[in-house]
Chains A and B, each alone.
Chain A
Amino acid sequence: MAISEPNPVPALAGSGSAYVTPSTSFGVFKRPVQSTGWRSWVFTVDHKKLGIMYGVVAMIFFIIGGVEALLIRLQLAAPNNKVLSAGAYNQMFTMHATTMVFLFVMPMAAAFANYLVPLQIGARDVAFPRLNAFGFWCFLFGGIFLNTSWFLGGAADSGWFAYAPNTALAFSPSHGVDFWALGLQITGIASLTGAINLIVTVLNMRAPGMSLMKMPIFTWMILVVQFLLLFAIPVITVALFLLSFQRNFGAAFFSVEKGADPLLWQHLFWIFGHPEVYILVLPSFGIVSEVLPVFSKKPLFGYKFVVFSGAAIGFLGWGVWAHHMFASGLGPVSVAVFSVATMAIALPTGVKIVNWTMTLWGGKLRFTTAMLFAVGLIIEFTIGGLSGVTHAVAPSDTQQTDTYYIVAHFHYVLFGGAVFGLFAGFYYWWPKMFAKMLNERLGKWNFWLMVVGMNLTFGPMHILGLQGQPRRMQVWTDFRAGEGFFNLAFWNRVASVGSFVLAIGVLMFLINVVYTTRTAGVAPADPWDARSLEWMTSSPPAEHNFDAIPTVHELDEFFHRKYEENEATGEIHQVSTYEEIMADEATRADKHIHLPSPSYWPIILALGLPLIAYGLIFARLLAVFGAVVVLLAMFGWSMEPSVADESDYDPPVDGGPTKELATLG
């Protein structure tokens, strides 16, 4: 390392205990080295700890977003209801969507990606551990920043897609939209750095022998998602900058009175927004593609098709954005082109559904909770996919635009698709992450309440929408509710009751987590008879993930080490157990593993960003201060080696391996 400092370790060998002093970073701070307590989390760069932190924070935002949804449904439970004022209602649906999309589904997918991708590819960490920590803190601080708008004059009230001119100062005079635009910039930095980091990790740090087509399917889907993020985030960045410039510096971008074209915002937003849909759902597709083979005791049917259909979705996803804008008068040619492209993207999605179904076909199915959620995804997502195809038909879409039919559609694909996949992931990987099995009985309650709840909530919205109930309207009236089967009052009440059933279902999960944590006992290391590399290590994995980096020969490497096929009969029989494989790997254990060292700089750098954002809204001086913090942190960061000096590590005991950073008392 280039840091030219005298070695701070006194040469005292043989006295039984050697002194260890952490080297200083840039002569300012001593490196954080604690391996226990809050400091070991706040300054960590360990992808597993960061993954868990992403998960916990995303879950908290899920609850916040869920409460917002319940308030919306309470307001709509009765005609002319007064639970929320019109203003509060506008803020509620804007923040519900923003929270669920940017602060729950995306970071929860990031939680799984962070935790699992290095394990699935047989790496010891991500390519840029400090950047990883920085991404998490950006997400956390951005999310907190966004939500403080509730207490500082009101949250954004323009809808999550913030159409111009609704976001103009004249129509949204509170600071809400400013908070929204700046907050999403900060979480956007988290997504962008995360995307770069994971792409490099997957492309560069695979275990020997793991070619791209031997990569676990979850990692594949995450790779596709990171490319989508890489190219989608800068587009929303531009849109948000234009919006901020308009509101804070008087630029004209969306001022119709100055001749602006409101379609500019719509195009920029949806060029980001449609790939975003796949950013939300593809990680869950990946999770389900891991879960189904394990609980069917069969390899994933048509692995290559699942990979390439995922990649195809990644490409086609860029060519369909204007189907969100059919009602805005694009002209017949554009509408026809985007209509056809939208129908085309149903094909690769359909390929996936077929592959999952064929994976189940003839398998030895075990209906664990994880499997139930995975099967639930196939069914609910297909319903949402079918109503999606009806939107590709432009004349029908024009009729449905801005009605509850659209709300029904995207909740089926996002809740029935993305969220169900994430829950399948919780149950499947919980023993990996925490060495405890989530309770299956509570899990079944969790699943069935959620399925019933979501269908009760979102199913009736199809009817409501086709009957013409508009989205984003705070009241409906009995006077115009209609008669008989299509009575709006009845279906609105069903949806509201359903939303509480759904909430109880989610509550079951939280109860399950608390219950499981308090229960004694350790989960088996390979409880599901799994197939991929993340299971070929201890649970939870040691800080360095693998004692020896495994050499990969097959897709589903772990499965192929456990089982062999009899060439003549085609029978599969077990040849090895988890313990034997681990013992074999242990003979090749690396002696000298130096993990990336914890650092103060990621959190300091990330702290500067909300300071700048608050400053831009309230006091420019604060923004200057935040910028100085950011700049100094960048310099501190760039001069700090990513791995500590040799002297920071505990000396090897009896010539054994050195793995952990030395701890200071």
Chain B
Amino acid sequence: MADVAVHTPPADGHDDHAHGHTTSTGLSNNKLAMWMFLGSECLLFGGLISTYMLYRGRHEGSPTPSQLYNIPLTSISSFVLLMSSLTMVLAVSAAQRRDDRNTMTWLTVTALLGATFVGAQVFEFTEFVREGLGFTTNLFGSSFFTLTGFHGVHVTVGIIMLMALVGMVSRSRIPGDKAEVVEMIGLYWHFVDIVWIIIFTLVYLIPS
């Protein structure tokens, strides 16, 4: 449900009724709100990661994590996701140069890289289910799918925002400062990436 709020702060028009004078902190309202929201998200993932860490050893009735995890595949998809942060930076930089064409190109590439990651995750999930680890099989299954699923949903929401952004840039439908909107979606995107680095390390790399 928290995802619902994702759209609203960046989507909100910029702070028109305060224009003319700067804000007390110097940060724009939109950007400060995004930082606050991401701070809140840290606790969301904190709760989910803690749940997983508590339950990862309780895999009665299914293969163990080390039997299931396909480290090479996940490493590649993680690399793809990390590269999408690079393309996101390029999109922000293009937006700041008011270069709409490159903005749209890099946003699309970012979305495609994100979609590749989500695709790999869907493939991974189906493999796990085939090998005997379902959502309801045991505590390890429930907590693994919930944690990585929540992250996957975050990436998916990010992709939807990116694609919507491409559409809105192409039709000049963005109220307010275009570069700032791109930058804020970028903040969200980088955050989701960083969370993945933590999840990848804790879930896949550290043996249980």
Q: Which of A's residues lie within 8 Å of B, judged by CB?
A: 1-4, 26, 123-125, 127-128, 130-131, 134, 185-186, 188-189, 192-193, 195-197, 199-200, 203-206, 208, 210, 230-235, 237-239, 241-242, 245-246, 249-253, 258-261, 264, 268, 271, 593-596, 605, 609, 630, 634-635, 637-643
Contacts and interface: CB of A to CB of B under 8 A. Distances in A.
Given A189-B5, A242-B51, A125 B32 contact: no
- For chain B, the bracket of interface size reads 35 or more
A258 B146 CA distance: 17
Contact of A196 (B17, B37, B44, B143): B37
A642 B146 contact: no
A259 B58 contact: yes
Contacts of A252: 136-139, 141-142
Given A204-B25, A641-B176, A642-B175, A231 B9 contact: no
Contacts of A271: 47
Given A252-B141, A258-B139, A230 B40 contact: yes
Interface in B159-197: 164, 168, 172-176, 178
Contacts of A128: 8-9, 12, 29, 33
Task: With a 10 A CB-CB cut-off, give which of A186, A196, A210, A641 has the most chain B CB atoms.
Answer: A196
Contact of B1 (A185, A197, A230): A185
B176 A264 contact: no
Contacts of A205: 18, 23-24, 29
B43 interface: yes
13 contacts: A2-B176, A3-B175, A127-B15, A189-B5, A199-B36, A204-B32, A234-B2, A237-B2, A253-B139, A259-B138, A261-B54, A594-B17, A642-B176
B11 interface: yes
A231 B138 contact: no
Contacts of A237: 1-2, 44, 47
Interface of B: 1-2, 4-5, 7-18, 21, 23-25, 27, 29, 32-33, 36-37, 39-44, 46-48, 51, 54-55, 58, 60, 135-139, 141-143, 146, 164, 168, 172-176, 178
A4 B172 contact: yes
Nearest to A630: B4
Nearest to B173: A639
Interface residue SS majority, chain B: helix
B146 A245 contact: yes
Nearest to A25: B175
Contacts of A125: 17
Contacts of B58: 258-260
A204 B5 contact: no
Contact of B47 (A238, A246, A630, A640): A238
Contacts of B16: 1, 594, 596, 641-643
Contacts of A594: 16-17
A234 B138 contact: no
Nearest to B28: A204
A251 B138 contact: no
4 A-B pairs with the lowest CB-CB distances in the bound complex, closest first? A638-B11, A238-B47, A642-B13, A641-B175
Contact of B29 (A124, A127, A630): A127
A253 B51 contact: yes
Nearest to B59: A259
Task: With a 10 A CB-CB cut-off, give which of B36, B55, B135, B164 has the most chain A CB atoms.
Answer: B36
Contact of A639 (B10, B17, B54, B168): B168
B33 A196 contact: yes
A634 B11 contact: yes
Nearest to B18: A205
Contacts of B12: 128, 130-131, 637-638, 642
B24 A264 contact: no
B4 A609 contact: yes
A227 to B, nearest CB: 9
Task: With a 10 A CB-CB cut-off, give which of B18, B24, B60 has the most chain A CB atoms.
Answer: B24
A2 B175 contact: yes
A238 B48 contact: yes
Task: With a 10 A CB-CB cut-off, give which of A195, A596, A638 has the most chain B CB atoms.
Answer: A638
Contacts of A200: 29, 32-33, 36
B11 A637 contact: yes
A231 B141 CA distance: 27
Given A127-B33, A192-B40, A204-B29, A1 B175 contact: yes
Given A205-B18, A258-B58, A260-B139, 19 more contacts: A127-B33, A130-B8, A134-B8, A185-B1, A193-B8, A196-B33, A199-B36, A204-B23, A205-B24, A210-B24, A231-B40, A234-B2, A249-B136, A251-B146, A264-B54, A594-B16, A594-B17, A609-B4, A641-B175
A630 to B, nearest CB: 7
A258 B175 contact: no
Contact of A637 (B8, B41, B135, B136): B8
B50 to A, nearest CB: 8
A13 B164 CA distance: 40
Contacts of B32: 199-200, 203-204
A197 B48 CA distance: 25
A242 B17 contact: no
Contacts of B29: 127-128, 200, 204-205
Nearest to B181: A638
Contact of B172 (A2, A596, A640): A2
A177 B41 CA distance: 25
B61 to A, nearest CB: 9
B146 to A, nearest CB: 6
Nearest to B136: A250
Given A2-B174, A203-B24, A233 B40 contact: yes
Given A127-B33, A259-B60, A234 B40 contact: yes
Contacts of A131: 8-9, 12
Contacts of A199: 32, 36
Given A206-B24, A259-B58, A638-B164, A230 B11 contact: no
Contacts of A253: 51, 55, 139, 142-143
Contacts of B168: 638-639
A235 B47 contact: yes
A456 B96 CA distance: 66
A26 B172 CA distance: 12
Contacts of A204: 18, 23-25, 27, 29, 32
A505 to B, nearest CB: 37
